[in-house]
Amino acid sequence: MSTLEHQVVVITGASRGLGRAAALRCAQEGALVAVGYASNDAAAQEVVGAIEAAGGRAFAIRADLSSISGIDSFYATLDRELETRTGEARFDTLVSNAGIVTMGKMADTTEEDFDRMFALNVKGSFFMAQRAISRLRDGGHVMFLSTGLTRFTMAEYTAYSASKGAIDVLTKCLAKELGPRGISVNAVAPGVVDTDINAHWLRDNPQAQAHMRSMIAMDRIAEAQDIGDVIAWLASKDSRWVTGQRIEASGGQSL
């Protein structure tokens, strides 16, 4: 039996990268997957199509999760879709993955860059989880995406790292709040991953790749699937006694 059979998993930022990998893996394990995305209709439909071609079930929801109105729009669509597909607007797992990165040391970070990152990375994650509370089934799961950069530091990611530091604290607070319902809350913290967001400095750059490998105990750079597999495990009942944790999936980066 697949580990997520008869479950509903909601994943934001699922049209590419880590979210896409998580959506594919959760669907493979039997879940009905809601593929949240911001703007790229073709990419989101490609994910849904790939899931359905493999015999899985999925649907896409477009919304800007950096605003309350966008979050409420997301849930209005989600409720309608779930009522049609399952008979009730309830789900088992929220993976709050949507986020943005703007590189820059503190001296170079603009107010606009700071506000954009915190609006989506922190405010969006907070209110997505808030709206999920009444819809989550007891015994379910909430996952936030953190980063290895809340343990090891790079000055070029100061504001981004700060936004994810807020996620680490939010994880613990919400885990305590939802624990009596058997709902686990954890943060997944990847290290460097070969995704589109890192392509401009990592792909086709053997020197950068060699440098990063030298910092990783497992001597390779992660692929999106490595993180997707962790997320799928956390969505399963096998992870039921793990909560309030920042789970670093970095291959041992900067040990």
Tell me whether strands 57-62 and 91-96 are parallel, antiparallel or unpaired: unpaired
The structure tokens listed for 162 are 């700060």
- Domain boundaries along the sequence of the chain: 8-194+223-249
Instruction: List the helix and strand counts (H, then E) for the chain.
Output: 9, 7
Percent of the chain with pLDDT over 70: 100
| Per-residue pLDDT reduced to its tens digit, 74-132 | 999 999 999 999 999 999 999 999 999 999 999 999 999 999 999 999 999 999 999 99
Model pLDDT, residue 1: 62
The CATH superfamily assigned to 8-194+223-249 is NAD(P)-binding Rossmann-like Domain (3.40.50.720)
Write out pLDDT tens, residues 144-167: 999 999 999 999 999 999 999 999
Question: pTM value?
Answer: 0.96
pLDDT in tens, 8-50: 999 999 999 999 999 999 999 999 999 999 999 999 999 999 9
Question: Could you tell me where the DSSP H helices lie in 87-223?
Answer: 111-118, 125-132, 158-178, 199-202, 206-214
- Mean pLDDT taken over the chain: 97
Contact 249, 190 (CB under 8 A): yes
* 219-231 pLDDT per residue, tens: 999 999 999 999 9
If you search the block for the tokens 């819809």, which residue do you land on?
A: 135
Our answer to whether residue 157 is catalytic in this structure is: no
Q: How far is CA 30 from CA 40, 117, 148, in A?
A: 25, 33, 29
Residue 233 has pLDDT above 80, yes or no: yes
41 near 15, Cβ under 8 Å? no
Q: Indicate the burial class of 225 (C-beta count within 10 angstroms; 0-12, 13-18, 19 or more).
A: middle
- pLDDT score for 197: 82
Q: In what order do the strands lie in the sheet with 32-37?
A: 57-62, 32-37, 8-11, 91-96, 136-145, 184-190, 245-249
